[in-house]
Each structure stands twice: as C-alpha cells, then as structure tokens.
Amino acid sequence: MYTLTDFRLQDGGTEKEDIIINGSRMMTGNGLLGCRGTMEEGEADAMPALIMNGLYDRQGTGWREPVNIPHPLSVRLLPDEGPVLGICGDPRLVTHSQELDFRYGILSRDTVWRLPGTDGEPFDVTVRSRRFVSMARRDSLFLEYRIQCTGEVNLTLLHGIQTAVYDIHGPHLTDPSCRFSEEGMKLECRTGEENRTIQVEQTCRRTGFPDSSGEREEENGQGFYRVISLETAAGREYTLELTGTVAVKDMTPVGTDLEKISFEGELERHKAVWDGIWDRGDVLIEGDEEAAAALRYSLYQLQIIAPRGLERNLSVPARGLSGQTYKGAVFWDTEMFISPYFLATDPDTARRFLMYRVESLEGAREKSAEYGYRGAFYAWESQERGADACSDYNVTDVFSGKPVRTFFRDKQIHISSAIVYALDRYLHMTGDLNILYEGALEMALECALFYYSRSLWSPLHKRYEFHDVLGPDEYHERVDNNAYTSRMALFTFQTALGLACLTDDNRYRALRTDTDYLSYSNSLIERKGYRKELKEIRDITREVYVPVPGEKNVVYRASPERSAMENSSRNIVEQFAGYFSLQDKFPAEIRESLLHPKEYWGGSSGPASGTRVIKQADVVLMLSLFPGEYSPEVLRANYDFYEPRTEHGSSLSACAHALLAVKTGRPDEALPYFKKTALVDIKGDSKHFAGLVYIGGTHPAASGGAWMTVVEGFCGLSINDGELTLNPRLPAGWTGVRFTVMFKDERYDIRVTPEGHEIQKRRETVKGEM
Amino acid sequence: MYTLTDFRLQDGGTEKEDIIINGSRMMTGNGLLGCRGTMEEGEADAMPALIMNGLYDRQGTGWREPVNIPHPLSVRLLPDEGPVLGICGDPRLVTHSQELDFRYGILSRDTVWRLPGTDGEPFDVTVRSRRFVSMARRDSLFLEYRIQCTGEVNLTLLHGIQTAVYDIHGPHLTDPSCRFSEEGMKLECRTGEENRTIQVEQTCRRTGFPDSSGEREEENGQGFYRVISLETAAGREYTLELTGTVAVKDMTPVGTDLEKISFEGELERHKAVWDGIWDRGDVLIEGDEEAAAALRYSLYQLQIIAPRGLERNLSVPARGLSGQTYKGAVFWDTEMFISPYFLATDPDTARRFLMYRVESLEGAREKSAEYGYRGAFYAWESQERGADACSDYNVTDVFSGKPVRTFFRDKQIHISSAIVYALDRYLHMTGDLNILYEGALEMALECALFYYSRSLWSPLHKRYEFHDVLGPDEYHERVDNNAYTSRMALFTFQTALGLACLTDDNRYRALRTDTDYLSYSNSLIERKGYRKELKEIRDITREVYVPVPGEKNVVYRASPERSAMENSSRNIVEQFAGYFSLQDKFPAEIRESLLHPKEYWGGSSGPASGTRVIKQADVVLMLSLFPGEYSPEVLRANYDFYEPRTEHGSSLSACAHALLAVKTGRPDEALPYFKKTALVDIKGDSKHFAGLVYIGGTHPAASGGAWMTVVEGFCGLSINDGELTLNPRLPAGWTGVRFTVMFKDERYDIRVTPEGHEIQKRRETVKGEM
C-alpha cells in the first residue's frame, strides 16, 4: 500500500502487479522523454520504458505505436551464485522501498538483499539509488546508484544499455550496435518504418571502486553492458553515476556535452527548473492534506509530459509518456481536459498544443476528404502530422476472438470542435492574436467547413442536424442528434464566424476593430475560397438543432421507458434521438449480466447499447461546458438523471461530473469525484491488461480534470466579458485554495477561502527557465 | 431423389430429412389453408402443419407466428404388436412413395409394410391415400385412405384430430375439447393472445369395413381419435373418406354442410376450379421439359397460397403457408416478386395484395410515428393490420449465444416503395382506377410522405439523400445513398406526384383529364393536409441523388480497392457510399474464413460486412427494374461486376440476376439462374434448420421470380406507353413459350418462339370459378 504525503509518494510493493503499477505511478519525465518507474535491474516483464514524445514506429499490420527506446540506465548486480538481485519473487530480498519526490521528479530506492556469506554468516547488500529525467537537459536522464555491503564478497556489477525492452506491436528497432569507449558506451539502432537512427549513450563515473576491479564488455540477452568484478569491503559505499542520453535527428536538442556533466550539478539545474514550474503552476489546497497531495501529484504528472522548450510543437498523448498504450496518440483529452491547466499557468505550452494541431491541419483535411467531406476532420488518435492511428476495428470480441467494428475513427466527429473550443479559450485567456495569423484562423475555419459538410437539413423538422455520430459516450454508436456533438458543432460555427468577423458575437468584438486582422482574415477567406460557405454557415447556424431540455425532440420508438421519462421530468436533455426509449438499466445490472468479465459494453449489440447505461459524461459534459445556457433546475435534473446511469468507464468522466456537481451548488457531492480523478494514477486501480497486452499507463486527462475541478469548479474561475472572475464553492473542510493564473500576459495570485477570495496581480512577472 | 415430370413430383425418401423436405415440396393448399405434405400418421417431429392465412398468435415474449391448427386428417395404423406403422426408421417398411399431382394439388401415397403373421408367414399391409385441400370449399380438406392386406390380421385403426402439433414459439392453443358424434368429431380450442375459438371437425365415411368392427373413442398423446378394431380379409380393401373442416370466426366461410360431401364429388369440384386456374395461369415452355415442369410447379406453389375469393383481403407470407417460419409474415417479396404473376393472370388477386396494404395503412403510419417520421413506413414483416413482427434482434450470435442487433425493422425503408411500385404496375396493367378511390391514392401519398420525412438535404453536395438505410443486401447495414433505396424513394415521389396530378408525367396523363378523379384527389389532399408537403416533394424530387454509373459519387476512404475500381470501369453504380472502398473479396473466401459454419455474414462486424461480398441482388435489382434508364454497357458492366460478388443468400437474388442477364442479351447465362429459382422448393436444398429451430419452407418469391424470368425476361413482356409489348430472347433449346396475360380487362394468348411472337386477344373472356 502506497503512502502519499506532501510531494512524496512511497511504495514498498514487490509483487508483479506492484511493479507494473509503480511503473506508471512513479513516472519521471521532462516532456520529451518519459521514463517508467521501474527499477534499474528490471527486465522486459517489469515493463521498463523510455518513451520519446512524437517518436512512432509501425511493424507490418500492427498498430503504430511509440518506440520503446533502449534503456540507458540499466544496472544489474550478481552475487557469485544465483541470479541477478531483483525485487519480484526474489527470496533474498529483505526490504524494498521506492519513493517518488514529485516536487522535483526524483525517483529513489532503498533495497536490501541478504546473501549467504562464504563463512556461513549471511550478509546484506544495500542498494540506494536516485534518478531523474532532466528538465534542464531534455535529452538526458541521470542515475546515482550506491552499493553497500555488510561483509566482504565478490559481486558482479553490470551497467549498460538495455535493448531487451518490451513491445506491444514491436519489435521496432533493428541492427543495434554498440561502441564502448573510455567515457562509456554508445548504442545505435534504427526504427523499422522510417529508418530513423536512434543513438543512446551512457557515460559513467565511479566513486569508491578499487582501481583493481576487473572489467570487461559484454553483449548479453539484456543488451550491452560493462561488467565489473567487485570485491566489496564491509561498510564501504561504491557509487556509480550514470548519465543516459538519447539522440534522434530533428527530435532531440543537439550538442549536449556529456563530459561536463555531474549528477549533483545536474540535479541542481534540474531542481531550479522545477522551482520555476511550481512557482507558476502550484495549487495549494488548505484543510485537506490528501486532496492537496493528490492534486499536486496530478500537476506533477502533467508537468513531466509538457512538451515545452522544444523545437517541434508537440502535444501530449492520452497516456502521457507512460508507454505504448493507446498508440501514444493525442486524443481530445488534450484540448478538453489537459490544456486548461497549462493555459492558466503556462500558456506557451497550451499554445504548443494548438500549434501541433495547426501543423496537423493537412492530415485533418486528408482524413475529411477520405470520408467524402470538406474541411478538417481531426484524427481521433493523432500521431505526427495528424495521421489517425485509430483502427476501424479497435476492440476484440471476447467470444469469437474476432475484431469488432468500432466507430471511434469515423463517427466521433466532436474531435475537431474540441480543438476550436481550446483555441477559443486560448484567445480569451491570452489575448494572443498572433496564433490566428500562424494558422489557427485557417484551422478554425476548416473545422467549421467540416461540420458544414457534415450537416444535414431535415425537410421534416426544418432544421439542420448532425447524424450518425458517436458522442463521448462510446457505448451508443451511430446516433443522430447527439446533444454534445451538435452543441459543439454549433460552437465551432459560432467561433469560426466570430473569428471571420461575420457575426456581432460579443466574444470577438475586438477583432472587428482590428484593421490588420480584418485585412488578414479577408484575404485568407478570399485566397482559400471560404466566402460562399461561410455565408451558408451563417444561415445554417441559425437553425442547428441541439436537443433542448424536456423537449419531445424526437419521438422514437414508443416504450414504457419513454412514457415514464416524459412524465417524470421535463428538464432532461435527451442524449441523442431515441435514448429515452432505451431500457432503463444501471451499470451494476450490466455488470451482473455479462457472460464474460471482459465483454465490451458497447458495439452494435453490446450489453449497454440497448440500455440507458452510458460510458461517460456526455450531456453532463455539455452542461458543464455551457452552464450559463441552462437554468439551475436543468443542470441539477440532468446531473441527477445521468449520474447513476454512468459507468465512468473513462478517466474523463469523473471530472465532468465533479464540475457539474459544483455548478449545481453541491461541492460536497463533487468531492468524491475530485478525489477519484486526482488519485487515479496513485491508486492504480484502473485496468492494466487486456488479455496479455498491457493497456495501463497514466491518465493525464484525469490529472487535468483534477485541476479543473479545483480551480474552475470549487474556486469558480472563469472569464466573463473579458475579466477574470471567481465564484467559489469549496467543499466542507477546505479552508482555502491558493493558486496562480496567467491572464493576458499578467500573473495573478489568487486565494480562495470559504469566506471569499482575493486576486492580486504580480508586480513583476518572473521569467523562469521554463 | 425426386422425380419431376409434367405436373407430377414423386419422391420415395423416408429419412427424417426427406420427410421435412417433402413437407414443403408437396404442399397442398387453397389460399386460405395450407397443408404440409407429411403423411397421415406423422407425429410432431415430422412437422405436419395446417396453416391458415392471417391467423397468428403470440405467447409471452416469443415471436408472433402463425397458429399451427390441429390436424383433422390424422390416421394411424397399429398392428397387434409394435408401434404405429410409419415411414421414418420403421424396419417394417417395404416401400414408400408419395406423389404430388400439381395440376390438381392432389397428394397421394403408396406405402407397404411387412408384418409377421400369426402363422409365421409374413404378410403385407398396403396403404394408398389421396388428399387435397379444396379449392371449391376453402375451409375443407379431404382424404381418401385405403388399406389392403395380403393376409388376415388384427389391426387397430385410429382416425381423428391431431392436437400434438409442433410449434416454434408455442404452444398457441389452449383448452382443447372434443365432441364425438355419429358423423364424426368436433374439436374446439382457443388461441392464447386473442382468445379466438378454433373449431376443427372431422367427418368420416367408411367403405368395406365389416359392421362388426369394434369401435371406441380415445384421447391420447396425439389428440382425439376414433379407434377401430379391424380384422382384415386378405386382399380386401378398406376405405376411409375423411373430411376436415376448420372454422374460425370472421376468417373462414360459413355454412359448409358437411353431410352432403363425398370425396369424389368434392374432387371433381376442386379440379374444375383448378382447370379455370390453369386456363388463366399456365405457362408452357416448349423444348425444355425440366424447365417446363419446374415453372409449372412454381406456378402451382403460387396458386395454392393465392388468397382469392375470401371475404378478407389477405396477402401471402414469404414462406407461403408452409409453416411458422418467417413469422408467417408478408414481406416485400409479395409486391416485387409474387404480385407480377397474378397481375398478369389474375388481377383480382393482385388487387387483394394491394388492398391488404391499404388496410394496413394505419399500422404503417403508426410505425412511422414510432420512429419520428410521417407518412407510411410499412412493416418489414407484416402481420394483420400491418403490425410489424420484425424484432430488433433478429439473429443470434453463434459465439456468445446473444441476440444480435439487426436493422431489418428500422432501416430497411425500401418496403414502402415496393408497395407503390406494385400499385403503379397494377394501375398500368389493369387500368382500374377504382382502387385509388378505395384508399390506394392515400396509401401512395402517405408512402411519399414517409420518404419526404426521411430525406435529408446535404449542404455539401446540394442534393437530397437517404441516409442510414439497409438495402436489399442485408450484409451492409446502415449505409448512405444505397442506390436501390434512393431510386425507389424517388420512384415513390414520382408516382405520388403523378397520382396527385402534380407533374406532367406521361404515365399518368389519363388521370389529369378525369374530372371525377381530379376532384376526388384534390379533396383528399385538402382533407388530409398534404398540399404543402406535396409542393416540397416536387422540389425535392428534382434533386434526389441516386448513385450514377461511373460517377465518383462519394469519395470515401481512399483504398487500393477503390483506386483499382475507378481505373477499371466507369460504368459501375456504387451500391452505397463507401462500397468501393471495401475489401474486394468473393463469397467462397468468406465461406472459407468462417470460424463457425452458422456464423452470420452480416451485422456490424460480420465476415462479409467489411468486404464487397453482398447477400443478394441490390444494384442488379435496381437495374432490372429500370433498365431503360441505363445503357446496355452499364447494364452489362454492373451485372459482370456484381454477379461474382453475390452470395445469393436470399431466394430473391437469382431471379433478379436472371432478369438482368436476359436484358443484357445473355439469355443462356440467365438459364441456370432461372432453374435455380424455379427448382428451389423441389430441390429443397436451402437451409432447413437454425440450431434446432425449423426455418425452412416454401419460397413463393422464387416461384414468382421464375414466372418473371420467363415472361418478363425471356419473352420480354412489358407495357410501353400503354401497350403490351414483347421482346423475346429465348435461351438456346427453347422452341417456344405459350402463356396468357390479362391486360386492361382483356385476355391475350401469347406465343413466343425463337423466330417471333404472336399476341391474340380472346373473343370471350371465360369467367371461371376463381
């Protein structure tokens, strides 16, 4: 069982399962590289991983996924007899503890093994290590590895580069070759699909080792190692300082000079960057220590994947840099749940997320054309340049073993609107119009063009509708008039028209008086030939149908459920046409009805598909995004209706519920959802395997949702008519929340208490090394 | 193995499978009653059935299905020792032969059993029987049952009413009670759902029986019986003449006087009706005896289910009256494949089919409203008053045993257009405008209103489209722009506008000068408030999109298949948006890829769904309905493209291919399809069981398709500009075809030869007892 205290997460588990969970739970990283929290000696079955943001490979017909880079901080300790000292199932293990300092992203261990001595007396070997992925040198990670024995003994110490990594759809790397030199070793290998060269280097400093230590080089089943024969002196400490560096052309910074690096020196530089990060990005909850630590841990998980300070614009994968699951792809998670934190604390990073999408515009256009539409249909699972990694068959049927046709790729059209939504937030939070000139205006217009080409006029209803979509609730496929999707498409139209200065939308009045912008915007519209469609979009926008609370919006299949529904409440928004006519079941009933524990709940004939049980917030999410458009009664009635019918089968669900609970004036009901969200990676109780395939990892959207719940929910931060406003509703027991917000190039220190709130503008904006 | 000669079908099979096949193959019936061709002694496992058109029952949550009526012609023969003499697995059986005379619908048998005699010498018992379902008395069926022995022996003879029938979703009948009288016996029982009383009566005459025969009444596991102890004299014949009569209030004719009935007398009356039927309905193929016999057999199968001369308007179920399969429901089979034969030979019957739909209009309106649409959405599986018997889960998954969500009921919208198509043919063939006043005009307008409410305007393509439909090819669900469906919806619009005199469509010019009709039509339109929608429909009609040959109509999922397609031919009509992008596989490949022999090929993730393999004619059917709209090159290219990709998993498929093959000038290629169609029930090689559930039966649509292939295909009969025309293309070897056609109240005798054709109007139209 883990221990969570302020900025410290400790765990002593040594079972296989603990090792897998700690791998994600104790991630370190710097936005470019992410390193799973496995121990130095861990072999492939411990699932060590070193992942580089944006580096993918595809083998044969397997899914395209991140490359698991050879691990440059591999250390293995062998007694004279018996296997390598390890923690899982090793009878020689006495104690093991590993700890993540999540203030500074330092993973340390303290492990003791007991071995039989040559004289019959047992003796102990203790290994203490610290390691971090440097925030100051983005291509490097550092390890300090200390060995101490209570007796004299012959040990074999191996340190090197581990090539025997695990892969889901690999192997991805070919032709490894390693050159050993006085300073260390340098491995070179190549990816299969793009034939990219990856260089992994290890340099080493030793302290306390006798000059007489025998030494050789070895290539073994695990990789390339330097092998040292060490006769220990009792009580004496032997220290290795290892530096691992990864170089991939166009992806890593160039020119790191390895010789000048020392562990302590680098640690100081690394910590200095972290100090700057926390200065901007910390949130302090007062009066609830668990909540405070969980939130900071969530912010840590976000910071270690933030791709700041790099040459390329990258975004963040839905499982962070914690492995190959979810194909290392970027989902709508970024725009809807992760971006808000960065936007409020580090707008440059939020801008990168947007620029990543701007640079993916061509991919989104191609995808749209693929399906016969126009404009930008963004990838559901986005890899580089917007390529969609999502398969048409993304689930395997447990009964037949056959692939199940899923509709994430082709019908989940709300992805493009999420990007426009994030852009709109970005513009209002930063006032940075430059991004519009840099491609974001075109992107927004192309997204609108996509929804335009996807819209349909119903002669029967005399309105524009969006048909055959998959909303956030993925258990109900190919539905018409999904409230969330339709509202977001409408928002996209409104935003595009506002940005094109074709409406009198107050949100964009500043643009309409900016002659430079007007001229840029007009010339873009002319050049790209958008004029005619924008006019049509203006007409369509007036008649887009979004399901309305209590409205008999679509009479579909008379059923007892439907009638009961209509009588019981006139405030509920129907999730999609026909939802009310489905069987009224609850998640526990579905769970009990399963014939197989891993049965997929969705799909055309899935156990939830014919019922009102939904995977995750859908109408609730819409209401939490547009609360001002609905009465408090409507917000409350929908929360009460949908909440018990939601499985929360996605990490995005709990935070949407928390936000709406606060907005309906029930912060105490929101608190459990907040904790669920903030603790998801600490508890590690989500699903880790599908069959034998690892599907676990970190949940950055939940981490971002934790911040949203506290700052946008409990503290009620929002922008109204160009001003920061707060509308706090703290849960019982919380005595205060302190945080910092960047708003239009100014920093504000904010403190919220049950009694009220203070906003203070900082005199000097410290420009730290971020 | 069966023997088929002119008007005679003989089979001697005694295996379980033969018995099931002969049950359908040797059906007798009169349009109201259908009787499976099982033997008199057959128990439930032989699947005897007596089905009454239009009599349904539902038990619990089971499917609603026809009631299997207690069988009034049950006869069982018992020797002193051993079980009832039977044909399946009975070691005492010496020979068995049964024969259907399909000129007169008489089923006869000749069966010999050998039994050990009391003196050690074995002796033979021979049973010869004849039976028919009377065309003259629609509520009655008759049996002559003759017994002859080669020795003296004690036999027990039972004759009675068999209540132990089989049921798929039963039992449907409760509280049977039987009253025995001097003349016979009368059973009464009730249906479960509607509490309808069913009376089944048997009367008996005996010839050759000694007066001393012992006699008693018995209720046993099979039903209610009169039990006769018979000591046979060698060589003497004992004859039973049984009459079975069924009475159901409002469903059967009243007042049959059973006492006056004799087998021979009734047989003569029955044959006289059949003579009239063949006088009108026969088709004689010269030069190909197998084809000639197979076609006549097909016409026989149609005639025995034709619901003529009854008080109620009935249609024909898709499996005829051959049992409970397909829920005894009426499908589009009637309008598209069965009605043409009757329309050309017996227009009153074709009119009944239409009036059945007129009387189902309210049900169709209700179904449409259920799905949020207007107008008439006819039942996919229509029972009385248009109730849709089709389930949302019409298939069971072989792997999980779970129900599969199918979309026959809600997405197969082409059903309503089939009815309008049949109405249009009816009007042009008969000139009978009265039907329009009797509800058919309203029906056509309501069908158009349905498609109106289902139409969608695409701002992108600037056209009206039909989305989310299931075409005739049921292996590809929920598609957009299915060519067949869109063309038929457009046809419905055109016909409705023509009938409403709102276009200058030449097909309806007669209506526009008929002032009575104009005034009726106008007042209907006013009264029902159709005016505004009809105006809109007129606009929509101009812009309805039907996929066009060679047009890149929808660019959907770039794929190697798609590109190959575009390069290879510009003449193919894409079956639906995206079809060309599917994997190019062939039926044999799908069959080989199955993990389970009974795996359903369709469904969201079915083995055919991601490929171009289709269940049945779809584009081919459209082209065979509207050949004049396409060039010969297009007809040919599409036939050549789709034919090898079609599984022909439906009995409707072969005839559509045959028709198009003829229309592309290849009658010899059409011939195998014609034979497949015409022989389907004779060969009996279609699937009879799904698991343990009987799903076999007759295929009237294939029978109708056989007639269409010969008369409309090979002989090229059509109506052009109000005139009967012929355009013969006979297959090699056929020396002639003779048939009769009713056209606008006149009869024409037609003879087609390879050299030409003759049409002769009959002087006197014989009004037979039809």
Which amino acid would we find at residue B340? Answer: P
For residue B458, the chain A residues in CB contact (below 8 A) are 456-457
Output the DSSP codes for B619-641.
HHHHHHHSGGGS-HHHHHHHHHH
Give residue-wise pLDDT tens across range A89-118.
Answer: 999 999 999 999 999 999 999 999 999 877
| A399: number of Cβ within 10 Å | 15
Among A371, A406, A543, A595, which would you mutate to test the B interface (most chain B Cβ atoms within 10 Å of its Cβ)?
Answer: A371
Tell whether A45 lies on the interface with B, counting CB pairs under 8 A. no
A198 vs A62 pLDDT, higher one? A198
**pLDDT-based confidence at residue A558 (cuts at 50, 70, 90):** low
pLDDT at B554 over 90: no
pLDDT confidence of residue B310? 87
Measured distance CA(B235)–CA(B152) in Å, rounded = 9
Tell whether A551 lies on the interface with B, counting CB pairs under 8 A. no
What are the tokens at B113? 């059993």
Measured distance CA(A47)–CA(A37) in Å, rounded = 9
A555/B369 touch (CB, cutoff 8 Å), yes or no: yes
Contact A463, A547 (CB under 8 A): no
Give residue-wise pLDDT tens across range A216-245.
Answer: 999 999 999 999 999 899 999 999 999 999
Give residue-wise pLDDT tens across range A567-576.
Answer: 556 799 999 9
Tell whether B370 lies on the interface with A, counting CB pairs under 8 A. yes
For residues B81, B85, B88, B93, the Cα torsion angle rounded to the nearest 10 degrees is 90
For residue B405, the chain A residues in CB contact (below 8 A) are 604-605, 609-610
**pLDDT-based confidence at residue B555 (cuts at 50, 70, 90):** very low
Continuous H helices in A26-101: none
Q: Of all helices (H) and strands (E), which one includes residue A428?
A: helix A414-430
**What integer is the mean pLDDT of B144-148?**
97
Which amino acid would we find at residue A306? Answer: A
Measured CA to CA in angstroms, residue B560 lies from A362, B17, B476, B589 at distances of 21, 46, 20, 19
A370/B555 touch (CB, cutoff 8 Å), yes or no: yes
pLDDT confidence of residue B552? 59
B459/A399 touch (CB, cutoff 8 Å), yes or no: no
What are the tokens at A56? 């993918």
Q: Measured between CA atoms, how close is A604 to chain B, in angstroms?
A: 6
Tell whether A467 lies on the interface with B, counting CB pairs under 8 A. yes
Tell whether B256 lies on the interface with A, counting CB pairs under 8 A. no
Maximum CA extent, chain A: 93
What are the tokens at B504? 């200058």
Q: Measured between CA atoms, how close is A658 to chain B, in angstroms?
A: 34
Q: Of all helices (H) and strands (E), which one includes residue A248?
A: strand A237-248
The pTM score is 0.93
pLDDT at B765 over 70: no
- Of A419, A449, A445, A578, whose CA–CA distance to A501 is shortest? A445
A334 vs B565 pLDDT, higher one? A334
For residue A395, the chain B residues in CB contact (below 8 A) are none
Which amino acid would we find at residue A381? Answer: E
What are the tokens at B198? 């069913």
pLDDT confidence of residue B687? 73
For residue B459, the chain A residues in CB contact (below 8 A) are 452-453, 455-457, 464, 536, 540
Q: Measured between CA atoms, how close is A336 to chain B, in angstroms?
A: 28
Among A366, A394, A456, A461, which would you mutate to test the B interface (most chain B Cβ atoms within 10 Å of its Cβ)?
Answer: A456
pLDDT confidence of residue A768? 41
Contacts of B582 (CB under 8 A, 6+ apart): B559, B561, B610, B611, B612
For residue B457, the chain A residues in CB contact (below 8 A) are 456-459
Measured distance CA(B641)–CA(B637) in Å, rounded = 6
CA A566 to chain CA centroid, Å, is: 39
Which DSSP state fits B139? Answer: T
For residue A402, the chain B residues in CB contact (below 8 A) are 595, 605
Tell whether A554 lies on the interface with B, counting CB pairs under 8 A. yes
Output the DSSP codes for B157-183.
EEEEEE-----SS---EEEEEEEE-SS
Give residue-wise pLDDT tens across range B493-511.
Answer: 999 999 999 999 888 999 9
Maximum CA extent, chain B: 93
**pLDDT-based confidence at residue B195 (cuts at 50, 70, 90):** very high
For A80-222, where are the E strands, in sequence order? Answer: 93-101, 106-116, 122-133, 140-149, 154-162, 173-180, 184-191, 197-207, 214-220
Tell whether A609 lies on the interface with B, counting CB pairs under 8 A. yes
pLDDT at A722 over 90: no
Chain position carrying tokens 């006699």: B215
Which DSSP state fits A193? Answer: S
Tell whether A583 lies on the interface with B, counting CB pairs under 8 A. no
B459/A536 touch (CB, cutoff 8 Å), yes or no: yes
pLDDT confidence of residue B692? 61
Contact A356, A313 (CB under 8 A): yes
pLDDT at B560 over 70: no
Is the Cα dihedral B335, B337, B342, B343 positive or negative?
Answer: positive
- Of B485, B464, B341, whose CA–CA distance to B407 is shortest? B485
Residue A149 DSSP SS3? strand
Measured distance CA(B73)–CA(B142) in Å, rounded = 8
B722 vs A436 pLDDT, higher one? A436
Tell whether B455 lies on the interface with A, counting CB pairs under 8 A. yes
Q: Measured between CA atoms, how close is B449 to chain A, in angstroms?
A: 9
The torsion angles phi and psi of B715, rounded to 5 degrees, stand at -85, -20
A558/B370 touch (CB, cutoff 8 Å), yes or no: yes
Averaging pLDDT over each range in A453-467, B563-577, B685-699, which range is the top one? A453-467
B372/A555 touch (CB, cutoff 8 Å), yes or no: yes
Closest chain B CA to residue A449: B460
Among B368, B377, B456, which would you mutate to test the A interface (most chain A Cβ atoms within 10 Å of its Cβ)?
Answer: B456
Tell whether A761 lies on the interface with B, counting CB pairs under 8 A. no
A374/B605 touch (CB, cutoff 8 Å), yes or no: no
Which of A402, A460, A577 shows the shortest C-beta gap to B374? A460
Closest chain B CA to residue A558: B370
A557/B371 touch (CB, cutoff 8 Å), yes or no: yes
pLDDT confidence of residue B385? 87
The torsion angles phi and psi of B192, rounded to 5 degrees, stand at -80, -45
Measured distance CA(A441)–CA(A443) in Å, rounded = 5
- Of A245, A240, A233, whose CA–CA distance to A215 is shortest? A240
Cross-strand pairs, A180: A185
pLDDT at B153 over 90: no
pLDDT at A366 over 50: yes
Contact B85, B113 (CB under 8 A): yes
Which amino acid would we find at residue B313? Answer: N
For residue B392, the chain A residues in CB contact (below 8 A) are 610
pLDDT confidence of residue A769? 44
Tell whether A555 lies on the interface with B, counting CB pairs under 8 A. yes
Which of A373, A458, A605 shows the shortest C-beta gap to B405? A605
For residues A757, A761, A763, A768, the Cα torsion angle rounded to the nearest 10 degrees is 100
Measured distance CA(A731)–CA(B701) in Å, rounded = 70
Closest chain B CA to residue A603: B604
- Of B459, B466, B530, whose CA–CA distance to B499 is shortest? B530
Measured CA to CA in angstroms, residue A706 lies from A100, A280, A652, A670 at distances of 20, 17, 10, 11
Measured distance CA(A120)–CA(B655) in Å, rounded = 92
What are the tokens at A489? 């498409």
For residue A374, the chain B residues in CB contact (below 8 A) are 460
The torsion angles phi and psi of B57, rounded to 5 degrees, stand at -155, 150
pLDDT confidence of residue B253? 85
What are the tokens at A18? 């603990």
For residue B603, the chain A residues in CB contact (below 8 A) are 604-605
Q: Measured between CA atoms, how close is A468 to chain B, in angstroms?
A: 8
Which of B459, B478, B595 shows the shortest C-beta gap to A478? B478
What are the tokens at A493? 């139209």
B257 vs A472 pLDDT, higher one? A472
Measured distance CA(B555)–CA(B183) in Å, rounded = 75
ipTM of the complex: 0.92
pLDDT confidence of residue A27? 98
B474 included as an active-site residue: yes
Contacts of B58 (CB under 8 A, 6+ apart): B64, B65, B169, B192, B193
What are the tokens at A93? 């293990």
Give residue-wise pLDDT tens across range A141-162.
Answer: 999 999 999 988 889 999 999 9
Q: Which of B201, B474, B647, B712 is catalytic?
A: B474
Give residue-wise pLDDT tens across range B1-45.
Answer: 899 998 999 999 999 999 999 999 999 999 999 999 999 999 999
pLDDT confidence of residue B10? 98
Q: Which of residues 104-163 of A touch B (CB under 8 A)?
A: none
Contact B483, B619 (CB under 8 A): yes
Give residue-wise pLDDT tens across range B221-250.
Answer: 999 999 999 989 999 999 999 999 999 998
Q: Measured between CA atoms, how close is B439 to chain A, in angstroms?
A: 24
For residue B450, the chain A residues in CB contact (below 8 A) are none
**What integer is the mean pLDDT of A695-716?**
96
A605/B603 touch (CB, cutoff 8 Å), yes or no: yes
Tell whether A426 lies on the interface with B, counting CB pairs under 8 A. no
Q: Of all helices (H) and strands (E), which one includes residue B503?
A: none
**pLDDT-based confidence at residue B684 (cuts at 50, 70, 90):** confident
Q: Of all helices (H) and strands (E), which one includes residue B662?
A: helix B653-663
**pLDDT-based confidence at residue B768 (cuts at 50, 70, 90):** very low
pLDDT confidence of residue B460? 95
pLDDT confidence of residue A767? 44
CA A608 to chain CA centroid, Å, is: 27
Angle subtended at Cα A351 by Cα A347 and Cα A354, rounded to the nearest 5 degrees: 145
Do you find a cis peptide bond into A700, omega within 30 degrees of 0? Answer: no
Catalytic residues of A: 474
**What integer is the mean pLDDT of A658-664?**
95
pLDDT at B718 over 80: yes
Tell whether A369 lies on the interface with B, counting CB pairs under 8 A. yes
Range with the poorest average pLDDT among A313-327, B103-117, B682-696: B682-696
A687 vs B166 pLDDT, higher one? B166
Please give, one letter per residue, the 3-state secondary structure of B27-94.
CEECCCEEECCCCCCCCHHHCCCEEEEEEEECCCCCCCEEEECCEEEEEEEEECCCCCCCCCCCCCEE
What are the tokens at A585? 């079941």
Q: Which of residues 705-724 of A touch B (CB under 8 A)?
A: none
B460/A373 touch (CB, cutoff 8 Å), yes or no: yes
Output the average pLDDT for chain B.
Answer: 93
Tell whether A286 lies on the interface with B, counting CB pairs under 8 A. no
Output the average pLDDT for chain A.
Answer: 93
**What integer is the mean pLDDT of A324-343?**
96
In this structure, chain A runs to a length of 770
Contacts of B357 (CB under 8 A, 6+ apart): B315, B335, B364, B378, B386, B419, B443
pLDDT at B78 over 50: yes
Measured distance CA(B698)–CA(B22) in Å, rounded = 11
Measured distance CA(A407)–CA(A624) in Å, rounded = 25
| B567: number of Cβ within 10 Å | 8
pLDDT at A314 over 90: yes
Measured distance CA(A524)–CA(A522) in Å, rounded = 5
